[in-house]
Amino acid sequence: MRITGGTHRTRPLRAPEGLITRPTTDRIREALFNILSHRDWGADLGKMPESQIVLDAFAGTGALGLEALSRGGSQTIFFEKNRKSLKLLEENICSLKLEEQSTIHALDVTHPLEAETACSLIFLDPPYHKDLIPQTLAALEETGWIAPHALIVTETAKGEAFEIPPFLQPLLERRYGNTVLTFLEKK
């Protein structure tokens, strides 16, 4: 596993052994960031991920949030509760020397603290088939983590549907094998 673009392109990321997490593959991550950087998101969203405050929920190794920083994001806030994943996340942040641009919350993102800042780009890549997306989106909205017009990208398994909350509108959906990326915008 590696960073696929930006200032840290080709730099390796430590990944867990076994099935602790299911990191987003390099191919899907590269496709995701190509969509973010080349699509016209309009005046409200601006250029992605440049200068955005990013939230990486269910961070695991931190691949999505670290990729965003490598590609120009200003800050990434990571949520991860698994101890082994937290250790890998910290190691990956340190190996890329991104400590000053990274904040880790070692807790369950379905029960977040009140937001220190609202985020304009949010990645939700929860464990598949656990129906965590609606609960997480509601909790993040309730605690102030989702900025007006924020772009939210979810990663789910093919065939795994979720209810989109009324404060969000769907923009785009892309399938890559058994993985589905859904792009949503806060109304």
What pLDDT, in 10s, does the model give residues 60-71?
Answer: 999 999 999 999
Q: Which residue has the tokens 């780009």?
A: 121
One DSSP character per residue, 102-131 reads EEEE-S-TTSPPPPSS-EEEEEE-PPTTS-
Where does the pLDDT of residue 139 fall: very low under 50, low under 70, confident under 90, or very high at 90 and above? Answer: very high
pLDDT of 21 reads: 60
Query: Cα–chain-centroid distance for residue 139?
Result: 16
| Domain ranges, ordered by start, for the chain | 6-12+22-186
Q: Residue 135 in contact with residue 162, Cβ under 8 Å?
A: no
For residue 103, pLDDT over 80 is answered with yes
119 forms bridges with which residues in the sheet? Answer: 146
Q: What superfamily in CATH does domain 6-12+22-186 come from?
A: Vaccinia Virus protein VP39 (3.40.50.150)
The stretch 11-34 carries a mean pLDDT of 84
b vs e for 47-63, b when ≥16 Cβ sit within 10 Å of the residue's Cβ?
ebbeebbbbbbbbbbbb
Dist. CA 82–CA 34, nearest whole Å: 29
pTM: 0.94
